[in-house]
Structure 1
Amino acid sequence: MKKNDAATAGGERRMRPPLATPTDLKAETTRDIAAAMNGILADVYALYLKTKNFHWHMSGPHFRDYHLLLDEQAVELFAMTDPIAERIRKLGQATLKSIGHIARTQRVLDNDAAYVEPGDMLAELGDDNRQLVSRLREAHNVCDEGGDIASASLIETWIDESEQRAWFLFEAGRRGDSTGH
């Protein structure tokens, strides 16, 4: 039997799609989870690039602190990408394939402005991370409904990390008074 062939109960052979990794989850479930996770993957790549953009273009009296903070956060975001994509593949589904695919799928808005004030950078990234938390919770619900405990468990960690990024950005952007912004 060839690698791509699968025997059926009657002994006949049928071709299995090359990416169809075996799983005990229903096909519809894996498609729904993969769609949710590909949306997360696109958002994480978009947020990673925006974070690096702001890291590269940071200026002002808090340059060093903000520059290092954004670099740390970008590393954390990039570290999420491979586990997300590999989880999608473990479900037998296809991942994002190109920058264009990311652009068509992402919900994080790009910022191509020539100059952004440092405080505005922090606030925008904080908002983006809070939106990512919301989308991660939505993806978690899809996983829960489909019985995908493994994906849900990964998402829980990413929710915590995203909440921490949002918190750090909020605190770093405070003006020094007890009321915040």
Structure 2
Amino acid sequence: MNYGIAIFPSKPIQDQANAYRKRYDPHYALIPPHITLKRSFEANDDKLDELITELKTIANETDPFTIHINKVSTFTPVTNTIYFKVEPVQALIDLQAKMHVGKFEDNNEHPFVPHITIAQDLVHDEYSDVFGRLKMESFQFEDAIDRFQLLYQLDNGSWTVYETFVFGKEQV
């Protein structure tokens, strides 16, 4: 089964992201707006039990932190993806790094760029138009992050929460 690890921001940020995603993200119906900590990976039941134990330890050792979003950015020329740029605070960078060492396979394909996707798979002209408009807009979000989620992928390609891990809370 495919699993992933993500942070879901607060409802106001999700609502703003979804206002764009409904129109510009073909994955809109598959997963809510999120910050990916660990992209899709496979695990059997035994491996999953090990990973859940490790995720509980990571959550217990992590203090809540605040993220800031001040603008949109893009992954072009690699892909025509537009996203809310999450300022890379050290706590978020450290949390993501812990998902790729020890019992976890390091499946990073690119350096970690904290973001919330709002548009992807756009043809070039549409990408240029949308990004041109969005980069002129002002975005000011601040969000307290105190948990992350282990997700699993359903047969229809959508993702759902398997378990939530709250920071600094002793989890058994």
Check whether TM > 0.5: no
TM-score calculated relative to the size of structure 1: 0.31
TM-score calculated relative to the size of structure 2: 0.32
Structure label with greater radius of gyration: 1
Higher helix share: 1
